[in-house]
């Protein structure tokens, strides 16, 4: 089927999970992989494998609402045959070989709020960036929809900010 003359091509379908509880690590994994492969239960199982003898698991929230650490993300990726490569932000972004990267998972400071009230606290939040059909997207689970960053220069500008 061909498009009508002058019609704009439809934008690519970009998988994007929205924030629920403290599951930003799970959402970041699924968003960077562009499909729902992980759940809270799967992340909890990884936590148990990482610390089988712990009464209070050091890899997640004490409340059981998520807040998973980097070890859970790395183990999840390793289980798929993928590797997480650390990036030292003191290195120039020009050295980041984006064409060789499936996606990026960032741990960023995030403001804390209760409804409309913003508190003077900061927590850490996992965010995914990924290229889909030549366009890089910010797939932060706190966003209503994916945010197009553009090409490699757009990603580098986002990372620099």
Enzyme catalytic residues? 24, 125, 140
Closest CA to 75 of 97, 42, 107, 100: 42
Q: CA-to-CA distance for 137 and 103, rounded, in angstroms?
A: 10
CA 47, 123, 108 angle in degrees (round to 5)?
85
CA 121 → CA 15, 58, 60, 116, 117, distances in Å?
A: 30, 22, 20, 14, 12
């Amino acid at each position: 089927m061909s498009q009508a003359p002058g019609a704009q091509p439809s934008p690519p379908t970009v998988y994007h999970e929205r924030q629920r509880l403290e599951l930003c690590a799970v959402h970041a994994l699924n968003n960077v992989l562009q499909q729902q492969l992980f759940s809270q239960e799967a992340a909890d199982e990884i936590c148990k494998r990482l610390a089988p003898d712990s009464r209070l698991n050091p890899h997640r929230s004490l409340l059981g609402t998520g807040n998973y650490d980097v070890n859970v993300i790395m183990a999840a990726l390793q289980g798929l045959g993928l590797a997480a490569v650390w990036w030292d932000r003191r290195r120039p972004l020009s050295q980041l070989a984006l064409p060789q990267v499936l996606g990026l998972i960032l741990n960023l400071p995030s403001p804390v709020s209760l409804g409309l009230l913003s508190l003077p606290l900061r927590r850490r939040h996992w965010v995914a960036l990924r290229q889909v059909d030549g366009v890089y997207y910010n797939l932060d689970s706190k966003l209503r929809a994916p945010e197009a960053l553009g090409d490699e220069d757009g990603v580098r500008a986002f990372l620099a900010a």
